[in-house]
Amino acid sequence: MIAYVNGQFVSDEAAVVSVYDRGFLYGDGLFETIPVCHGRPFRWGQHLDRMHRGAAALGMRVPLEPSALLAVAAELIRRNRRPESILRLGLSRGVGARGYSPAGATQPTLVLTLHEAPCGESERALQWRLVTALYRVPVGDRLGQFKHSSRLLQVLARAEAEAAGADEAVVLNTQGEVVETAAGNLFWVCGGVVGTAPVALGALPGITRGVVLEICGRLGIPAREAVVTREQLAQAKVQALFVTLSSFGVVEAVSWDGESVGRAAVVEQIRHAYRGVVELEAARK
């Protein structure tokens, strides 16, 4: 595979950054994970907008203009011959002096890599087992509004899920409210209404999350944001659960904390519609 590192297309073996890079030392950076369909990054503008908002919040800069960055992504896809893949766009503050102060780190590090797409529409729809993580996010965490590189909480939550024989972890906030999963946004279906947590609780405003809400609006599927605790959802008549994330799209859940979860036709309807949106936008000139 070929990667892009600070202006150069290089082999994976040569794709390295300094041990003094602040992204490596402190997680002082941002990233975006973008599905690529027919050679085109899906919802590129939205992903880039989130990265720019994150960079502004962290006092960083994206070293390439949007059009130049898109050209780099297109060339990377071409060189790797991976029209169906996952594009990871990484940005760090770059090399700086030892210590937490960002002073002097003026040359950001920009890395683009391509990865194999985990599944396709022709394959069997994924079904995940969920567990509730012990690790919790702060209520209204401002850093939760973009994909910063300090993901230790998510790493530990996923490790906790895997140790329990599950596929993904549901993350609550410090008030016990359902927020998201380690790598995506959580949705539930109750009484035919699709629900998800407001981003104000600390949830990432996921790109796939937004597309699913668009789909619900277009198809006339009732959808709303709701503040609920784990206990409230356990007591409610939850018809189905699903997770949304850029790498996998829409993934249905079959259990949560060892309890089986029902299935609802609306989840497959949304999953199929999401894939249709990806295909349609990739086909546009």
Domains of the chain (ranges, CATH numbers) = 2-116 (3.30.470.10), 127-283 (3.20.10.10)
H-helix or E-strand containing 277? helix 265-283
Q: Which residue has the tokens 């359902």?
A: 178
Distance between CA atoms of residues 232 and 269, nearest Å = 26
What is the pairing mode between strands 40-41 and 29-37? antiparallel
Burial 195-229, CB ≥16 within 10 A → b, else e: bbbebebbbbebbbbebbbebbeeeebebeeeebe
CA 248 to chain centre: 9
Three-state secondary structure call for residue 138: coil
Per-residue pLDDT of the chain (285 residues; tens, 9 = 90+): 999 999 999 999 999 999 999 999 999 999 999 999 999 999 999 999 999 999 999 999 999 999 999 999 999 999 999 999 999 999 999 999 899 999 999 999 999 999 998 755 444 568 999 999 999 999 888 888 999 999 999 999 999 999 999 999 999 999 999 999 999 999 999 999 999 999 999 899 999 999 999 999 999 999 999 999 999 998 888 999 999 999 999 999 999 999 999 999 999 999 999 999 999 999 875
**DSSP label at residue 78:** H
The DSSP 8-state label assigned to residue 229 in this structure reads B
pLDDT of residue 126: 83
* pTM metric for this prediction: 0.93
- Helix, strand, coil distribution of the chain in percent, nearest 5: 35, 30, 35
pLDDT number for residue 119: 59
- Minimal CA–CA distance to 181: which of 117, 112, 248? 248
Task: Compute CA distances 208 → 212, 251, 254, 257, whole Å.
Answer: 6, 11, 20, 24
